[in-house]
Amino acid sequence: MDSSALLTLARWLAGEYENRDQAIADPIWFVNLRMWYRPLPHRLDGNLAFFAEQANILQLENAYRQRIAVLHEADSQLSVQYWAFRYPEQFRGAGRDGDRLASITLDDLEPLPGCRLIVTSTATTYRAEPEPDTQCCFQYDGATRQVVLGFEVSNTQFLSFDKGVDPETGRGIWGALMGPYRFTKCRDFASELPI
């Protein structure tokens, strides 16, 4: 049975977001993005899971960073484990087309060791940060890539701290280099949660 804390986190995550105001205020550092955290219509190994991707607002058909975020709870500790798609192009655009999510199974995914976030809460937010001394790495275009993940979510906003880093130097190369991306929920998908 899901705790009320886990269900609140899931409801707050479930949405379509954009950072239009931030992109207008600071266009040099922040691209205008649309981001989706869309619930899968079924659970993965008994856990609530989300399909996540994002796209430049001018090229929604070219969404990228397709991934699955699985919510876990053990001993009252919430966490989020990210999984990669074996063939992400097969699911590109599924954030806008929720019917495509029904076919996703664990066979479509590969685990991302080191890509687990520990979730803490306040009265108005949930904050997810990497486990200590871990590195979230994945293969892309034949090279090892590293990303530092993190977010803070409320019922109307999502702050993304995700940034790509050079695995050799640890220097940030893309993403939240000048502070978090500040997304506002423009569509709610909580009614799609399989609860």
pLDDT digit string (tens) for the chain, length 195 residues: 899 999 999 999 999 999 999 999 999 999 999 999 999 999 999 999 999 999 999 999 999 999 999 999 999 999 999 999 999 999 999 999 999 999 999 999 999 999 999 999 999 999 999 999 999 988 777 778 899 999 999 999 999 999 999 888 888 988 888 899 999 999 999 999 999
Neighbours of 90 (CB within 10 A): 13
Our count of domains for the chain comes to: 1
Over the range 36-60, which residues count as b (16 or more CB within 10 Å of their CB) and which as e?
bbbbbeebbeeebbbbbbbbeeeee
Q: What is the CATH number of the domain that holds 27?
A: 2.40.128.590
| Cα 148 from Cα 117, distance rounded (Å) | 10
Tell me the pTM.
0.94
DSSP state of 103: G
Neighbours of 158 (CB within 10 A): 21
Expressed as residue numbers, the domain containing 109 is 4-192
| Cα 176 from Cα 29, distance rounded (Å) | 9
Alpha helices in the chain (DSSP H): 4-13, 20-25
